[in-house]
Structure 1
Amino acid sequence: MSAQTLARAWSIRRADGLVLGFTDHDRRLRFAGVTFRPDQGLTARAISQATGLAVDNSEAVGALSDDAITEIDLLSGRWDGASLRMWEVDWRDVSQRRLVFRGSLGEVSRANGAFRAELRGLAEPLNQPQGRIYHPRCTAELGDAACKMGLDAPAWTVELAVQGQDEARTFRLTGFPAYDANWFEGGTLEVLDGAAKSLRGRIKNDTARPGQSREIELWAGLAIPPAPGDRIRLVAGCDKAARTCRLKFANLLNFRGFPHMPPEDWLLAPQVGGRNG
């Protein structure tokens, strides 16, 4: 493989099984069951590789195109954690190739019709915290395998059409079923159809209005505003406190926190007539 015949090729596999291939060569290449297209769907900077367990550092850059990596796909998280492989290949004979990087896509940013995605090497999981966290509040996420709460019941989830919204952050809803005040604070809002389908936001405020109406405010506006009539799903919020787990969800048996653990100020503060023990 010489410098004159060297090309680079990238393949990306999403969690749903979709695979895309790109190359910086001017013609299509095919190997490993993937067709690598010579367009602007993806390019990548030179990879900085180290020995040992150091994480490889690189960045993928691409254009947002309808038939490859679209803006809505990025915003809805469909490319989060997608696996990526990169080769150096002889474009005259693709059997002459070398795998130079294997990892996944990390943080993605968007600007001016393009995206940038951090490339994370195979050693990246070693940077993640391991083991149990000891904290008064629950470490599980509502509805996950540790929490074991089923969220399909009407008590926890409601689907409604958007009547109005401001900056894709504050949503006005009418015909709202009867729920306690602040029931959805800390929960999630997901768009079910329309141009903003699959986008999610964390709920900051849930305010009841007269006449079965509700105002839902997100911490941050959605990147694409839902249109009036688009359906959304609201999921009840959980503040991860033991009291909420017991009274709101009746799920204290699966609580993954330590509510009776003394706080740091109790451990550090001097006590009258003795020491903390």
Structure 2
Amino acid sequence: MDTLSTIALTWAIERRDGVAIGLTSHDRDLDVDGFEYRAAPGMTPSAVKRSGDLGADTMDVTGALSGAAISEADLLAGRWDGARVVVRAIDWDSGAVVAELGEGRIGQVETRDGAFTAELSGIASLLDRPVAEATSPECRAELGDARCRVAMAGRRRFARVVASEGTVLTVDAGEPVANAYGQGLLRWMGGGNCGLTSAVALSDGTTLTLRAAPHFEPVGALVELIEGCDKSLATCSGRFANAANFRGEPWLPGIDLLTRYPGA
């Protein structure tokens, strides 16, 4: 048998919430080292563009939307955004890996006429990030990270959603201080949104205003509320007593200096 006739492409996809699935261009499911690659979505790859310099490797993958593997609702909810993908060529007869074609993260996803197209950006795309930070009056650190150093123990609390209207949720637990969860995060621990994360714009007592409405019914779901920070020096100093680690330049003149005038 001709060796080339037994080669199939596989994609091992791991979402940020830990869910992993395997997909293949073969006409039947494959089991490789105990990991199953499904043929149901009918995956069709584009040409793989790889470069010998520092250019980013790119690839588009098109497939049918299938409730058993990848559903349109999950794609629109963002479950697959930023998922890690490993692409291989596998001998479907022996299960041996023929070639490692690359790995990266899922970028832009489009859905149309019952099918989806996902763009895969290689790890070289990380080189497109800026090397040096730009100055800003607000803190550039994230609350609780290695540069901020605020201890997050006690700043994460569980609650249950008791009411919902658009982007406004009501939970069964109050906030420790005014607007404690503003600019923070809400992690869905149950219900249809389980595994997703929502950004909180404002909080007031037991009311939370999200930046975007939940994709699935939220009432009754258990959530984890993570305190936020408006990244101002006043909040850093007054609320967190952490001015020594403030990563911003609140008194550095900005580009509006030339437009200022006496009495403005």
Q: Under TM normalisation by the shorter chain, which class is it?
A: 0.7 to 0.9
Q: Deviations over 1:145-188 (max 9, x none)?
A: 221222231xx344322221013x211235625532x3332222
Equivalent residue, structure 1, for 2:185:
188
Distance 1:82 1:252 in 2: 37
Q: Residues 198 and 47 of structure 1: is their aligned pair in 2 closer, same or farther, counting only changes over 3 Å?
A: same
Distance 1:19 1:192 in 2: 18
Asked whether 1:132 is paired with 2:133, we answer yes
Query: Alignment partner of 1:36: what SS?
Result: strand
Structure 1 stretch 91-100 or stretch 125-134: which is displaced more? 91-100
Contact 1:72–1:196 under 8 Å retained in 2: no
Match of 1:237 among 204, 228, 242: 228
Distance 1:150 1:42 in 2: 45
Within-5 A mapping of 1:1-277: 4-13=5-14, 20-29=21-30, 34-40=35-41, 42-62=43-63, 63-66=65-68, 68-69=69-70, 75=77, 77=79, 80-87=82-89, 89=90, 91-92=92-93, 95=96, 97-108=98-109, 115-153=116-154, 156-167=155-166, 169-173=167-171, 176=174, 179-180=177-178, 182-208=179-205, 214-227=206-219, 229-266=220-257, 268=258
The alignment yields a C-alpha RMSD, in angstroms, of 3.4
Query: Alignment partner of 2:236: what SS?
Result: helix
Distance 1:18 1:251 in 2: 37
Distance 2:85 2:248 in 1: 33
Q: CA deviation at 1:240?
A: 0.9
Report % sequence identity: 29
Q: CA deviation at 1:8?
A: 2.4
Q: CA deviation at 1:29?
A: 4.2
Contact 2:14–2:83 under 8 Å retained in 1: no
Q: Give the number of equivalent residue pairs.
A: 259
Q: CA deviation at 1:140?
A: 0.9
Rg larger in structure: 1
What is the identity, as a one-letter code, of the residue corresponding to 1:233? E
Distance 1:126 1:61 in 2: 26
Gaps of 5+ in 2: none
Q: CA deviation at 1:205?
A: 2.9
Q: CA deviation at 1:260?
A: 2.8
Alignment TM-score, normalising by the size of structure 1: 0.75
Contact 2:32–2:95 under 8 Å retained in 1: yes
Query: Alignment partner of 2:8: what SS?
Result: strand
Alignment TM-score, normalising by the size of structure 2: 0.78
Structure 1 stretch 49-58 or stretch 95-104: which is displaced more? 95-104
Gaps of 5+ in 1: 209-213, 273-277
